[in-house]
Chains A and B, each alone.
Chain A
Amino acid sequence: MSLIPCLRGRNLFQMTRRGFASGGDLIRLMVADREVVGYGINGRPIYFDSPDCPFPAIRYREVNPELCALREKELDDWKKLSLDEKKQLYRHSFCQTYAEFQHFTPEWKLCLGVALWVVALGIGISISMKTLVYRKLPDTFDDEHQSAQLRRIIQLQMNPITGISSKWCYHENKWK
């Protein structure tokens, strides 16, 4: 394995890579001509961007002649590299920058929208059930009956410790 395969000869590199691929390993087929540069997260030659594994096992792009020229320039003083060349070298090894793959996505808007639609559907179903399906409430639900029942509850001193009768002042005959 070489970090700068162009110095060794491309054919030799390709033979080595394709030797593994011809064994039927799917991952190695997907690797194709990309250099293996480290262990990665589990030793397999897979590329992914992740903050907890900063150095994937393989470079992002395949080897090409323009890169070989840049790699030779990279061996010299880095101050001689222009900003564009540095960016090219980065983009050859990596797909995205930290700022790009850690960016907040607008996916939450879709999730919120779907959730609110479901809530609205639920509310719509309950309102239509109440209007079209359910029978009228019994007579005991009207105000006259409820106030008579409340009077009886207070007279019977129901739940007098922490409940409804505890909120009534029996001396002054009114709510506390």
Chain B
Amino acid sequence: MSTWANLGLQDSASPLMEQLIFFHDHALLILVMITVLVGYLMFMLFFNSYVNRFLLHGQLIEMIWTILPAIILLFIALPSLRLLYLLDEINEPSVTLKSIGHQWYWSYEYSDFNNIEFDSYMIPTNELAIDGFRLLDVDNRVILPMNSQIRILVTAADVIHSWTIPALGVKVDGTPGRLNQTNFFINRPGLFYGQCSEICGANHSFMPIVIESVPVNYFIKWISKNN
């Protein structure tokens, strides 16, 4: 979850999100270096009183400032493509979760296990406990096992919604009449929050998502209890 004055990305709870954070830091470092260089050049213009009215071209410097950006772009493109293909890797999920977006709540189905289904509504601010997170806490959380590959199928019942958990690097649109699939892996226990990310009406900001990541044996116990 984002805490107060959080400017950057949330700490990752998934190996793919870790890689996304590394790539983001790498690309941002390159961008900062370019910005500092250009800013310095612009700043020094204030103090330059030289004039050359007859300047036409400079072949060497033009070659340099064409080839150097191409090399810099290679340094960005190669890690980016590596990560792009890493995100699409095939793996064998052990749990499948179905998430259906409604106006204005999410419903979840665990069809692997005797059809466990429930709705997940946001807890209104006036009913929140003293340590509740406003606009984030829900009545029924999504319980998932940690250190297991999880498949999620997202769809919607009425208008387009979008299911997202920033800490896991997952965002999937739920479109009515369509099933969108993605995989993720949670590598630590805890609560992970997200909010609907596709405008869907008046209460679009009030249909959050909460994942409770638990050890596998706890997950099995929970499944058995809810059978």
Q: Which of A's residues lie within 8 Å of B, judged by CB?
A: 41, 51-53, 138-140, 144-145, 148-149, 151-153, 156-164
Q: Which of B's residues lie within 8 Å of A, judged by CB?
A: 1, 3, 6, 10-12, 49, 51, 53, 125, 128, 130-134, 188, 190-191
Q: Which DSSP category, helix, strand, loop or mixed, fits chain B's interface?
A: loop
Q: List 7 A-B contacts (CB under 8 A).
A: A51-B49, A149-B131, A153-B1, A159-B6, A160-B11, A163-B3, A164-B3
- In the bound complex, do residue B125 and residue A138 qualify as a contact, i.e. CB atoms below 8 Å apart? yes
Minimal beta-carbon separation of A136 from chain B (angstroms): 12
Q: Closest residue of chain A to B3, judged by CB?
A: A164
| 9 closest A-B pairs by CB | A148-B131, A52-B51, A152-B131, A161-B11, A159-B11, A140-B134, A148-B130, A164-B3, A163-B11
Given contacts A52-B51, A153-B1, contact A163 B6 (CB under 8 A): yes
B residues within 8 A CB of A152? 131, 133
Given contacts A51-B51, A144-B130, contact A158 B125 (CB under 8 A): no
A residues within 8 A CB of B134? 138, 140
Minimal beta-carbon separation of B139 from chain A (angstroms): 17
- In the bound complex, do residue A140 and residue B125 qualify as a contact, i.e. CB atoms below 8 Å apart? yes
- In the bound complex, do residue B3 and residue A158 qualify as a contact, i.e. CB atoms below 8 Å apart? yes
- In the bound complex, do residue B53 and residue A159 qualify as a contact, i.e. CB atoms below 8 Å apart? no
- In the bound complex, do residue B53 and residue A158 qualify as a contact, i.e. CB atoms below 8 Å apart? no
- In the bound complex, do residue A158 and residue B12 qualify as a contact, i.e. CB atoms below 8 Å apart? no
Q: Closest residue of chain B to A53, judged by CB?
A: B53
- In the bound complex, do residue B130 and residue A163 qualify as a contact, i.e. CB atoms below 8 Å apart? no
B residues within 8 A CB of A51? 49, 51
A residues within 8 A CB of B12? 161
Given contacts A138-B125, A145-B130, contact A153 B3 (CB under 8 A): yes
Minimal beta-carbon separation of B176 from chain A (angstroms): 33
- In the bound complex, do residue A140 and residue B128 qualify as a contact, i.e. CB atoms below 8 Å apart? yes
| Cα–Cα distance between A153 and B12 once the two chains are bound (Å) | 16
Minimal beta-carbon separation of B76 from chain A (angstroms): 23
- In the bound complex, do residue B10 and residue A159 qualify as a contact, i.e. CB atoms below 8 Å apart? yes
Minimal beta-carbon separation of A115 from chain B (angstroms): 18
In this complex, the member of A139, A140, A149, A158 whose beta carbon has the largest number of chain B beta carbons within 10 angstroms is A158
Minimal beta-carbon separation of A108 from chain B (angstroms): 13
B residues within 8 A CB of A140? 125, 128, 132, 134
B residues within 8 A CB of A52? 51, 53
Apart from A152-B133, A158-B190, list 9 A-B contacts with CB within 8 A. Answer: A51-B51, A139-B125, A145-B130, A145-B131, A149-B131, A157-B188, A158-B11, A162-B11, A164-B3
- In the bound complex, do residue A156 and residue B131 qualify as a contact, i.e. CB atoms below 8 Å apart? no
| Cα–Cα distance between A158 and B212 once the two chains are bound (Å) | 12
B residues within 8 A CB of A153? 1, 3
